[in-house]
Amino acid sequence: APTSERFPLLCKVLDAREKLSIQVHPPAEIASSLGGEPKTEMWYIAAADPGATLYVGLRSGMDREAFEENLNNGTLEECVHTIYPKAGEHIFIPSGRLHAIGGGLLIYEIQQNSDTTYRVYDWNRMGLDGKPRDLHVEQSLQCIDFGDCEPSMDVADGKVIASCDHFRVEKHKFSVGESIDSALAGRFGIVTVLTGSIKGQNSESGKGAFVLVTHGLKEGRVTAGENGGEFLVTTWPDQS
């Protein structure tokens, strides 16, 4: 693993029943001055209700002045770009990219191990105490990439669906009994079960599981289950 005081990645299952706040994570060159940590992530859409939305980046022609005006007026939704994702699609969210997850989405998230999130807008909702939730407007405005307009869902490069300085994510399909660690070629990996199941020596894990596979594992020790399946394989970025 890269030299680190802690495990460098976080893997999450996000089951959004209502839309989340519009937020941003600080880029590396800004994070320390704000007392935070950078966080780049990627989303794989595991399931999507009809009409479910992602809010990613800004609408074309939107600049910082217009953004702040809408923010002050409580109409920031007019500034944010909307995407209607489908199950099986994916998108990269670098630090500095404005984003929010809408309701009706089940997402597998792979990210840097950081919890720094700045909320810039929460749809004018009230918290459980009847007061507006705390926002981080000043920090957000320093972090948002205002040149990031109308991004779309990403297209895979072969089996690679995301690759950056922090992680590499591949998507593989295996038939029944096929060696999953053959795709790792001795690398460490986090295998996410999209469909089917994964079998180890003494266990079997189904859809939605995240399985850590140690480096140097003898090929054939981890295989696809009885019906085969599709899997995400996350590794370090310098392993190809």
CB 228 within 8 A of CB 197: no
Q: Can 221 be counted among the known catalytic residues?
A: no
| Inter-CA distances, 150 with 29, 38, 52, 99, 102, Å | 24, 22, 17, 11, 16
Task: Look up residue 224 and give its two tokens.
Answer: 């696809």
Task: Check 97, 119, 168, 187 and give the catalytic one.
Answer: 119
Three-class DSSP category at 5: coil
Closest by CA to 26, choosing from 79, 128, 124, 95, is 95
N-term to C-term CA, the chain: 14
**Which helix (H) or strand (E) covers residue 68, if one does?**
helix 64-73
Q: CA nearest 179: which of 192, 206, 160, 198?
A: 198
| Closest to 7 in 3D by CA, of 232, 222, 210 | 210
Please identify every residue annotated as catalytic: 119
